[in-house]
Structures are given as structure tokens and as C-alpha cells.
Structure 1
Amino acid sequence: MEVLLLGTGAADGWPNPFCRCRSCVDAADRHEIRGQTAAMVDDVLMLDCGPEAPRAAVRFGRTLADVRHILLTHAHTDHLGPQALLFRSWVDTGHTLDVIGPSDALDVCRPWVGPDDPVRFVPVVAGDELPVGEYTVRVLPAQHRVFRDGDAVLYDVTGPDGSRILWACDTGPLTVSWFDAVRAAAFDAVFLEETFGDRTDLSSGHLGLPEFAETVEALRGCGAVVDSTDVVAVHLGHHNPPIARLRERLRHCGARPGTDGEVLDMGSGSSGSSGSRTLVLGGVRSGKSRHAEELSAAYESVTYVATGGTREGDEEWARRVALHRERRPETWVTIETADVAQALREATEPLLIDCLGTWLTARLDVHDVWNGGDVAAVDADIDELLDAWKACRVPVVAVSNEVGSGVVPATASGRLFRDLLGRLNASVASVSDSVTLVVAGIPMRLR
């Protein structure tokens, strides 16, 4: 199963458009703008469809033309934008759409569907199990309500490849008996809401950080979450601490925040990790490495691939390396190697590669390009790196220098390096799930 997160924010998103709190200002400064939580599975099944979800799909390069099933959790407006059914009726998709959910949610949809529209409504209640195309869906109760008890549900979805996910949004703290229904499920991924941070006084129908941690612990205790499960916090709101601190808080309970546009690839022998690929670009002292470390901080164990190695007798370089090491958590492992392709192929835990510029320099040295060596051999190394990057089955963040914005280098070797690095960055970006440019310490998402 492939899961695309169309949004990971609460009903008001994050940042809240009307708020100036520290959390909202930090999110806006980072250009981390989260829309209302929804997801798309294998381009054919949607998990919730709020008013922002259709446009988010287009923004992330997807079409809804092939969507055949929508699983609605409840009728709150951030999870259900029924107007999408009207827009769909203006286009002949050539197939029937199943809209599945609690009866109250379906009733909200019916006025938006004409008598001849190819839409089929399938009401469900907690405890149901049903085939949905090639998927098996189990309907679970939620501690959440719109109008009455039982009008909100959660979903346990098994894909045709055997991978299995839990969509647990929206819900408050779950009862002890609830966990019996997912005992030994060993989900590949769990998408669990975490709306209120430390403001647990705001609603009993959502989770804050303490309740989120307790829920994850209970899921581990019943075997629903195992070591390979990717636990992803969604429905994130501005009552949470700024994202860097939130990543650290979630990491302590074995979870991480989801990101809008993130793609998770599960099943077919994967270990349940997302395998997401992120490229972070920036100039010298732009803050690109620090931002990459913040992105990787969601994981307790990370392999830091240092491509620069050591430089005998260079004290200034040694100080730079020492500063980077001091910033890394003690649970991270550092390897110094120029064989990045091998590191990508053999990785069993998340990677942070810093950086592709020094890797390219090492390849130019190996092939003696500065003295007229074979540039084609460097191109072959780049192709090998790209193949390993695309095939990597663990989350990976790579840092690279952005060198195309300055003056034309005065030397032929400088121009060669600039051109090769520019092509390398463009090639890696084209096969990455997320690309960020860091300027003056401010990360700007390009994809």
C-alpha cells in the first residue's frame, strides 16, 4: 500500500490563520503549512475528504479521477466536504464511487448527488467488516461524536499486498476493551490523532500529548504496534509546541509527526517504514544541516552518513565536524564514507546524508577529473546513487549545497563542479518526495 498524506493538520490547520501564538509563528516562518487531515491510498481509496483534500491532491501531483472509495470517519466539516461529489459529477470518470461511513455522514452527502450520478452510499457502524474493492476494512469505534454517540468511527484497512494500517482520527482516549479488536494486528503504520498538545482540558474527543503517548503504549501492549510500525501523529493543531520540540516529544513514545504531501510505501517486503526521500538544499551557513537534523529528530535511531571524512592537519575542518557531532543525539550512529550508494542500499534505519556536495568532490578526486580524468565515470557514480536513492526502503534526508545562484566561477574546475552539482541536485530532487531550500535559516518547501 502507498499512503499519501493530503493533510496532517487539525480542523483549523496549523498554523491557525488567525493566530499569532509562538507555535503558529514558528510554523509560518518554516513554511510548514498543514491542511486538514486526510489521506489517499494507492490513488483509489480516500481516508476522509474534507474541503481542502481535493485541491491538496492536485497540489501534490495526483488526480482523484481513479478514486473508487471514500471512507468517511464522521460528519465534521474538516473531514467531510460533500461539495466534492458535485464537482465529480461534472466529469465522466467511467466508474462508480463508493462513499462509506456512518449514516449521519452519508446523509450530509446525499443532497450533493444527482439521481443519475454514479455514487453508491454504504452505511457502516463500529464492528462491521467489509470488502472495499481489493481492500478489507474493519470499522472500529471512536471516542468522538458529531450529533450522537456512534456517529464517528475509525478504520483498520488491509491492502491487497497484505499491508495493514490504522486510521485513528478523530478520537479521544480509547477504552481498555477497544484494544482487544486490534490485538496482535502488527500494523505497518498507525495514523493517530494528536490535536491539543498539553492542552488536555479543551475536549474529551481528541488526544493531547499525554493521551497520545498512553494510546501508543497501549497499542504496543496489545501487539497492534510493533518495532517496525511507523506511528504517525496527524490532526496536529497549534496548541502543540513548535514542531522541533514536538518531534522530540513524539520521539520519546516512538512516534513522529506526519507531513503534508508525505508518501508512505508499505508492504511487498518493506518493514513498514515510509521510505520517504527528502532533499534539503542551501548555501554556506544557511542552516541546511541543522534543518535536516530537525527533520531526522523524529527518529530515535538514525545513521548519520558523513561524506566529508577527516582532513589531516586541518584544525578549522575538525572544529566544524566536532560542532556537528555535538548537535546529534547520543542514539545516532555516525559513519564516514564516500560510498553513499552502498549506505542507501544497506540501510535498516533512517539515514541523514551530509552532504552530496562533498560526496561529489570525493568522486571527482577518485576519478582524477581535476587533472583530465574521466567525467563519464562520475556520471556513472551519480546514476548509481540515484538508483540507490530511489530504492531506499527507510526514511532518508540528504543535504546538498545550492551553488547555482552565485557568480560564474573563475576557473574551469570551479565551473565543472558547479555544473555537475547543479545536475546532481536536480536529478535527486526529481525523485524525492520532499525538497526544501533553506535561506538565512528559513526553510522553504519547494515540493
Structure 2
Amino acid sequence: MEVVLLGTGSADGWPNPFCVCASCRIAAERGEIRGQTAALIDDAILLDCGPDVPRAAVRAGRSLAGVRHLLLTHAHPDHLNPAALLFRSWVRRDRPLDVVGPADALDLCRDWVGPDDPVRFVPVVPGERIVLNGYEVRVLEAAHRVFRDGDSVLYDVAGPEGGRLLWATDTGPLPSSTLGAVHDARYDAVFLEETFGTRSDLGAGHHDLTTFPRTLAALREAGAVTATTDVVAVHLSHYNPPTSELSEHLAPWGARVVDDGTAVQIGEPLVRSGQASRTLVLGGARAGKSTYAEALLAAEPRVTYLATGGVREGDREWAERVALHRARRPSGWTTVETSEVAAVLRDVREPVLLDCLGTWLTARLDHHGVWTGGDWAAVDADVTDLLGALRRAAGPVVAVSNEVGSGVVPPTPAGRRFRDLLGRVNSAVAAESEAVVLMVAGVATPLRSF
């Protein structure tokens, strides 16, 4: 199957022509103009049809004359422009057309079709299966509504000669019924909406950059998304950062952004850029290290979170920090609180987030009693053991550490020795990592990219 993305933007497109935010200004300056999201499959099936779409097809060098099936997800106007049926009837009254979608969406179309037009309306609800000229279409529940619950759907489309895709716009985090329906689907491509970007306060009817990777993790857990699935983010709005930055967000999750007019070949081998198996995230206090590191693994269904800080009895402020970290971790993540990091790295088979090397080193120094005459050589042995376990870890590892070499010189000999030792640990871990990132004021600066 060939899928041409006639548009990849949200209802107002990107940039919004009335907006002067940084995201819109940058998109306009770069000529990255996105229309309302829709797609054309094999020149025969049109997925959604907002006002932008017919003209977008012309700009993409595609004709809609061969479209035999229009699949509507819901009745919002950026997905449904019934006037297109009238325009079609002026030149195509001799060829049949199936208009498939929720009943409310179809009702908005009926007055735009003449009594003799060969248009067949096919109302559908989640759970139904229909066959359209050899294409098998399953209708799935969406976490989205126009007038009432259940009046928005998603589509699972399998081609007559192979290839299978999931058209998942508009929706928020997928309902359990949909995750059950796509179990072991092993899609060749998933087109997943990501409307709200950095905004998490705009409702649950769309994804943002927190819920998007969690939905991907759920799809991976269900066997719907695999290592070879092409995941394309669509329905993009100016709530997202500029495209280049958005692409950096999506890449660790195995997803990408494409331009309007891009043709995606379904079923062909996917060539994906390599991803780092070892990543070191550095930064000062409150620089956003942990949040960034967690985001790198947010699309993984299972992660071992190695929390090295432990519990500090009587320290209420520390307890609140720990509770905040725990609360924001996805439910599928397993938290292990220990300073025996090397042992865990040797045994675990899933991705690991190690947070952080600074508290790990503090714990090992205390464990060996170095401040009261203990064995410094034992600490060096712990560092060597950690590096060996990191080198041989079975899955991806993201390690967080404090960048302590940029501040004032510690006033005590113990402080200076700790700073120097942590600096050497950071350098050694960086040498074992394909990617190294420095966080400053919440902004990631790659020091080494894979």
C-alpha cells in the first residue's frame, strides 16, 4: 500500500495564520506549512476530508478521481467538509462512492448528495469490520467526541496485497477496548495524532508529548507496534516545538515527523536511524536532567528505574522529592532503590534508567566508610564494576549525573575529593556512551550524538 499524507496539521494547521507565537513564526519562516490531517491510500481510499484536503491533493500531484471509499473518523469540520461531495458530483456522477463513518458524520453529508448520485452511506460503530474492494477495514474506538461519547472512531486498514496500518486521529490515550482489539496486530505503519505538544492542560481528547509516548508504550506492550513499525506523528499543532526539536523528541520513541505530501510505502522494510544504547544526561541542580532522561524511555512498555538516592530518615524535603519522582513514572516501570547498581545491570533485560551517578557515588563512599578511614580502593573497584556492567547491559541504559565541575570550588577537602571523583566517573561513563547530553535551564544540548 501507498499512503500519501495530504496533510499532517491540526484543525487550524501549523502555523496558525492568526498566531505570532515562536512555533508559528519559525514554521512560517522555514516554509513548513501543514494543512489539516488526511491521507490517500492507493489513490482509492481517502481517510478524512477537511476543507484543505481536495486542494492539498492537487498540490501533492494527486487526483481524487479514483477515490471509491471515503472513511470519516468524526464530524469535526477539519475532518469533514461535505461540500467536497457536491464538487465531486459536478464531474463524477458516473462512479460510485462509499462514505463510511459514524452516523452523526454521515448525517452532515446527506444534504450535499443529489438523489441520483451513486453515493452509498455506510454508518459504522467501533467493533465492526467491513470489506471495501479487497481492503479489510476494522473500526476502533477513539478517545474523542464531537456531540456524544462514541461518535468518533479510528481505522485499522489491511490491504488486499498485504500491508496494514492504524489511522489514529483524533484521539487521546487509547481506550482499553482499542488496545484489546489491536493485540498482536504488528502494524506496518501507525499514524498517531500528537496535537497538544508541550501543553498538558488542554484536555484528554488529544495526545501531548507526555501521553503520546505512553500510548506508544501501550501499543508495544499489545504487540501492535514492533521494531519494524513506521510510526508517524500527525495532527500537529503550534503547541509543539519547532519541527527540528519535535523530531528530536520523537526519535528516541521510534517515531518521526514528515512533510505534507509525503508518500509512505506500507510493508516495505523500514530504515530507521540508529538509537543510542547508552546515554549519559548531565546537568546542574534543577536543570531538567531526570525529566529529560525519563522522556527518552517514555515509549518503552517496561523500564527498570534504578533509584540510587534511597530514603533519608527525617528529611521531609527529600521524601517529597522522591514521591514526586515516583508519581510521574509510568505504571509499567519497576523502581529498584539500591546502590548495588552493577548487580542490577548484569541481571536486567529491559531498558534501565539510572538516576543518578552522584547519589550512587555518595552511597558507595558511605558504604565503604571512606570519611572515617575506610577503603578508597574499594570505591575504585565499585566504579570499575559499574563500568563493566554498563558495557555489557542487555538493553538500553540512560544514566543521569550531576555536572559538578562548573561551579565554585568546594571549600572542604572532602568536597573537593568528591567533586574530582564524580568528574572522573562522569568522564568514564561518557566514554562508554554513544550519546551525551548537557541540560541547562531545561534545554538539552547534545555533546555527542549517535
TM over 0.5: yes
Structure 2 counterpart of 1:150: 150
Structure 2 counterpart of 1:38: 38
Structure 1 counterpart of 2:24: 24
Structure 2 counterpart of 1:15: 15
1:271 aligns with 2:269: yes
CA deviation profile, 1:124-146 (whole Å, cap 9, x unmatched)? 00000010112000000001000
Structure 1 counterpart of 2:115: 115
Deviation at 1:176, TM superposition (A): 3.5
Quick one: distance in 1 between partners of 2:14 and 2:131? 35
Deviation at 1:95, TM superposition (A): 1.5
Quick one: distance in 1 between partners of 2:222 and 2:106? 33
AA in 2 matched with 1:143: A
AA in 1 matched with 2:62: R
Structure 1 counterpart of 2:245: 245
Structure 1 counterpart of 2:139: 139
Quick one: distance in 1 between partners of 2:270 and 2:47? 19
Quick one: distance in 2 between partners of 1:47 and 1:13? 17
Matched position secondary structure for 2:130? strand
Deviation at 1:94, TM superposition (A): 3.2
Quick one: distance in 1 between partners of 2:177 and 2:91? 45
Pick the structure with greater CA Rg.
2
**1:177 and 1:107, CA in 2 relative to 1: closer, same or farther beyond 3 A?**
closer
AA in 2 matched with 1:123: P
Deviation at 1:175, TM superposition (A): 2.8
1:171 aligns with 2:171: yes
Deviation at 1:107, TM superposition (A): 0.2
Describe how 1:413-428 pairs up with structure 2 within 5 A.
none
Structure 2 counterpart of 1:101: 101
**1:203 and 1:193, CA in 2 relative to 1: closer, same or farther beyond 3 A?**
same
Quick one: distance in 1 between partners of 2:199 and 2:91? 44
AA in 1 matched with 2:84: A
Q: Percent identity?
A: 63
Structure 1 counterpart of 2:80: 80
Describe how 1:317-356 pairs up with structure 2 within 5 A.
none
- Indicate if the aligned counterparts of 2:93 and 2:117 stay in contact, CA closer than 8 A: no
AA in 2 matched with 1:150: G
- Indicate if the aligned counterparts of 2:165 and 2:266 stay in contact, CA closer than 8 A: no
- Indicate if the aligned counterparts of 2:170 and 2:193 stay in contact, CA closer than 8 A: yes
Structure 1 counterpart of 2:216: 216
Quick one: distance in 1 between partners of 2:244 and 2:141? 32
Deviation at 1:92, TM superposition (A): 3.0
Deviation at 1:259, TM superposition (A): 1.7
Deviation at 1:299, TM superposition (A): 4.0
- Indicate if the aligned counterparts of 1:47 and 1:72 stay in contact, CA closer than 8 A: yes
Structure 1 counterpart of 2:70: 70
- Indicate if the aligned counterparts of 1:266 and 1:272 stay in contact, CA closer than 8 A: no
Deviation at 1:272, TM superposition (A): 4.8
- Indicate if the aligned counterparts of 1:66 and 1:93 stay in contact, CA closer than 8 A: no
Structure 2 counterpart of 1:193: 193
CA deviation profile, 1:297-341 (whole Å, cap 9, x unmatched)? x94459xxxxxxxxxxxxxxxxxxxxxxxxxxxxxxxxxxxxxxx
AA in 2 matched with 1:271: P
Structure 2 counterpart of 1:126: 126
Quick one: distance in 2 between partners of 1:196 and 1:156? 23
AA in 2 matched with 1:245: E
Matched position secondary structure for 2:247? helix
Deviation at 1:178, TM superposition (A): 2.7
- Indicate if the aligned counterparts of 1:102 and 1:153 stay in contact, CA closer than 8 A: yes
- Indicate if the aligned counterparts of 2:141 and 2:177 stay in contact, CA closer than 8 A: no
AA in 2 matched with 1:12: D
CA deviation profile, 1:364-385 (whole Å, cap 9, x unmatched)? xxxxxxxxxxxxxxxxxxxxxx
Deviation at 1:197, TM superposition (A): 0.6
Structure 2 counterpart of 1:442: none
Structure 2 counterpart of 1:334: none
AA in 2 matched with 1:252: P
Deviation at 1:258, TM superposition (A): 2.8
Structure 2 counterpart of 1:287: none
Structure 1 counterpart of 2:89: 89
Structure 2 length normalisation: TM-score?
A: 0.60
- Indicate if the aligned counterparts of 1:254 and 1:299 stay in contact, CA closer than 8 A: no
Q: Which runs of 4 or more aligned residues in structure 1 lie more than 3 Å from their structure 2 counterparts after TM superposition?
A: 298-302
Structure 2 counterpart of 1:259: 259
CA deviation profile, 1:145-167 (whole Å, cap 9, x unmatched)? 00001100000000011100000
- Worse overlay, 95-104 or 177-186: 177-186
Matched position secondary structure for 1:172? coil
Quick one: distance in 2 between partners of 1:230 and 1:265? 10
Deviation at 1:31, TM superposition (A): 0.1
Unaligned runs of 5+ residues in structure 2 are 277-450
- Indicate if the aligned counterparts of 1:138 and 1:155 stay in contact, CA closer than 8 A: yes
**1:232 and 1:201, CA in 2 relative to 1: closer, same or farther beyond 3 A?**
same
Matched position secondary structure for 2:131? strand
- Indicate if the aligned counterparts of 2:164 and 2:189 stay in contact, CA closer than 8 A: yes
Quick one: distance in 2 between partners of 1:250 and 1:9? 16
Unaligned runs of 5+ residues in structure 1 are 274-297, 303-447
Quick one: distance in 2 between partners of 1:87 and 1:180? 39
Deviation at 1:103, TM superposition (A): 0.3
Matched position secondary structure for 1:252? helix
CA deviation profile, 1:85-131 (whole Å, cap 9, x unmatched)? 00011003632000000000000000100101111100000000010
